[in-house]
Structures are given as structure tokens and as C-alpha cells.
Amino acid sequence: MSDDIAVIGLGIHPFGRHAGVSGLEMAAHAARAALQDAGLGWEQIDFAAGGSDAAGNADTTVSVLGLTGVPFINVKNGCATGGSALITAHAMLTAGSAETALVVGFDKHPPGAFNPLPEEWGIGSWYGETGLMLTTQFFAMKIQRYMAQHSISESTLAKVASKAFENGSLNPNAWRRQPLSEEDVLASRMVNDPLRQYMFCSPGEGAVALVLARGEQARASNSPVYLRSAVFKTRRFGSFEVFSPSIPVHDGVSPTAEAAASAFEQAGIGPDDVDVAQLQDTESGAEIMHLAETGLCQHGEQEQLIQTGATRIGGRLPVNTDGGCLANGEPIGASGLRQVHEVVLQLRGEAGERQIPGPARVGFTQVYGAPGVSACTVLST
């Protein structure tokens, strides 16, 4: 358990579409805001890590933040880029190699679906010819199978999306600010059965930065939120993940399940202690599956949880209170850090209209990416 490493500064550039603003400019905006929130200058940062999938090298932000000689590591790890950058900084602080660290994630994707090449992911060109590099098809296959195995209804898929857009309407930094009802979601066009248009997130633009500190620097902060654990895992044989070229006969443990279990164990905190959670919701089905993979519920319990409103802001387990990927879009480098940004706001009591009721002491985040990687964190006051 990390007893003395805390998030002491938050910064965000609004998500969405920002013509004429580069990814690096968004990153610098978020970094400056995080430094201001932490009450530190850039010259007081001992280490930095950051990443982007399509908008440049994070370390080039030093050209606008200042040439201080700070060690700065670039990270690129699919949708788990932000989480991986955070874990890099966490490791440096845990090792005592730094007292303060800045983490930044950003991206600026063109409109339309992601267009990965199979050869870049260790798969033959035949996989692309099947159409499965278009991830809408993979996600649809995976949730269709899961729904059949665990009696999840189409209504529950739609409720996940409707909740996301309702929460996004309360978030000034979200891209999609228009609430949508369950009926609106179900009326949207079918993309890949059973997933409809409004059940998917969109590639987008945005940036998030966090300032971390350890020891006396953390304790001296006005409102530290402690990063109790940060864990990253890759897939094992038998797990059915993005860009998997086959379906296993027997299901293997997922990287999310292993990362979450390890994060809770290291933190000395259990899933039942979580007051607010942020889960990867590339599409509605992902949030449903990740609820169980992270241990926040059992497989099949999602139907009742979601139908009864337990995962809404006023429920017993609020999930994706900022609107998640569905309402914010997915600038790949920023998504994992956006999750931590939101949990810290909730634990500080600074989430505004979307603040969860009652005491918020423990938060959990889980980000997932191709080709089957997952990063999880446990945070507490």
C-alpha cells in the first residue's frame, strides 16, 4: 500500500473538438492548471511522464512549460496510455527517485473510427480482411456472448448510455452535453448488433494532467487524495480481448480482473469499500463487463444493479459520474487520467452538480485498451 503518495494537483482541457488548437497546446493548458492547483512551479517537478497516441510526443511540452532538465518519459500504450504514464510516475515516487511528479495525457484524433493496421499489432493481414480491426465489430461480438451467458438485456445496455449522457450534461468539460433517454438510445441506428450508435464513444480531443507528490510534500498539500495503489496488467492465454485472433474454448482470466484484484490487495481496500468508480466504457457493454471483472459485483448482477439505478450518481455505487468515454469521447492518451481526475474531484467534494451524495472516501479507476491491457488505481482521502 502506498501510504504517502498523493494526487495534489488537477488540470484538464475540455474534451470535444477544438479547431486550431494542437494536442500539445491542450497538454500544456492542462499541465499549467494542474501545477496551479498544486501550488507548485514547473521547476519544482522532479519527474514527468506522459503520452499521446496521435498528437505528438508528450515530452515536447517542455518547450512551452520550460527547459528545466526534468526527466520526462513518453508513454504509448493504446487506450491505457494515461494509466500507464500514471503508473510510471507512481513507481518513481515509490522508489524514492522523485518527490514530485507531473503526469499528462492528451490526444487529437480525426473524426471517424480508429483505423489500426493488424501488422502493427502482431496479427496477419487476414485479420483485417475479416473486418475485426474495426473494433465496433469485436465489442459487439464480445457483449453479445456475455449477454447470452449472463442474461443481460438490451434495456440495460441502453440505460448505461443514457446514464452517461445524463452525467455528461452536468460536466462542463464533457463533449456530449445533451441528455438522452433510454428510448433515444434504443431508437438510434444499429451499428453492430446489439450495439447502437449512441452506445459507442467517439475518438476525440482533450488533455488531462495530474501532479503527484510523496511524503512531506503530499501532506503539506491543501487537499491530498492518496494513490493507494496503481497496477497494470497484460492479457493471459485464453482471455478474449481486443485484436484476439481466436476465441478460447475455456475462458481465461482477463487483464482487468487481475489488475483490479492486485490493486485492491495492494491498497488493503476491498471492492465493497468503493464509494465512486470510473470504468472504461468504450461502449455500453464494456462498462457492464468491467463492473464484474473489477469485482464491484458478480457476473450477472449488473442487470439488477443498472435497472434499479445503483450505478447512477445517487445510487449506492456511482459509476462514470463525469459521463465516461461515452459523453467525453476518447482522446486515447487522456482517458485514463480523466478517470483519476474525476475520482479526485469526487473525493475532494468538488464535483459540482454531479457530486455524489454522502461521504466519498474511496475511489477506483479502471482503463482498458488494445491488445488486452488494463490499468487500475485505488484512491482514498
Statement: residue 1 has pLDDT above 60: no
Dump pLDDT digits (tens) for 334-357. Answer: 999 999 999 999 999 999 999 999
Answer yes or no: are the C-beta atoms of 320 and 278 closer than 8 Å. yes
Q: Are 247 and 240 in contact (CB under 8 A)?
A: yes
pLDDT over 80 at 183, yes or no? yes
Q: Are strands 72-75 and 47-51 parallel, antiparallel or unpaired?
A: parallel
Which letter does DSSP use for residue 356 in this model? P
Of 244 and 60, the one with more pLDDT: 60
- The cell numbers describing 21, all together, are 488548437
CA distance 267 to 253: 21
- Asked if 228 and 212 touch (Cβ cutoff 8 Å), the reply is no
Per DSSP, the residues of 141-199 read: HHHHHHHHHHT--HHHHHHHHHHHHHHHTT-TT-S--S---HHHHHHSPEEETTEEGGG
CB 50 within 8 A of CB 61: yes
Give percent above pLDDT 90 in the chain.
81
CB 30 within 8 A of CB 11: yes
Closest by CA to 257, choosing from 286, 295, 227, is 295
Q: Output the pLDDT for position 3.
A: 65
Q: For the residues 195-206, what does the mean pLDDT come to?
A: 96
pLDDT at 91 (0 to 100) = 95
Please write the tens of the pLDDT for every residue from 234-271: 998 888 888 888 777 877 899 999 999 999 999 999 99
Tell me what the mean pLDDT of segment 34-55 comes to: 96
> What average pLDDT is seen over the chain?
94
- What is the distance between the alpha carbons of residues 1 and 346, in angstroms, rounded to a whole number? 21
Size of the chain in residues: 381
Nearest to 272 by CA among 290, 297, 254, 300: 297
pLDDT tens per residue, range 94-153: 999 999 999 999 999 988 878 788 888 888 899 888 888 888 888 999 999 999 999 999
The per-residue pLDDT for range 281-313, each reduced to its tens digit, is 999 999 999 999 999 999 999 999 999 999 999
**Would the pLDDT of 227 be above 70?**
yes
Question: 275 with 363: CB under 8 angstroms?
Answer: yes
Tell me what pLDDT residue 2 has: 56
Cβ distance 14 to 334 under 8 Å? no
Mean pLDDT of 191-199: 96
CB-based contact 243:370 (threshold 8 Å): yes
Rounded Cα–Cα distance for residues 212 and 93 (Å)? 8
pLDDT given at position 134: 84
Starting at the edge strand found earlier in the chain, the sheet holding 225-234 runs: 72-75, 47-51, 100-108, 205-214, 5-16, 225-234, 373-380, 362-369, 276-279
Contacts of residue 236, defined as CB under 8 A and 6 or more positions apart, other chains included, come to 252, 253, 255, 258
Domains of the chain: 5-112+201-380 (3.40.47.10)
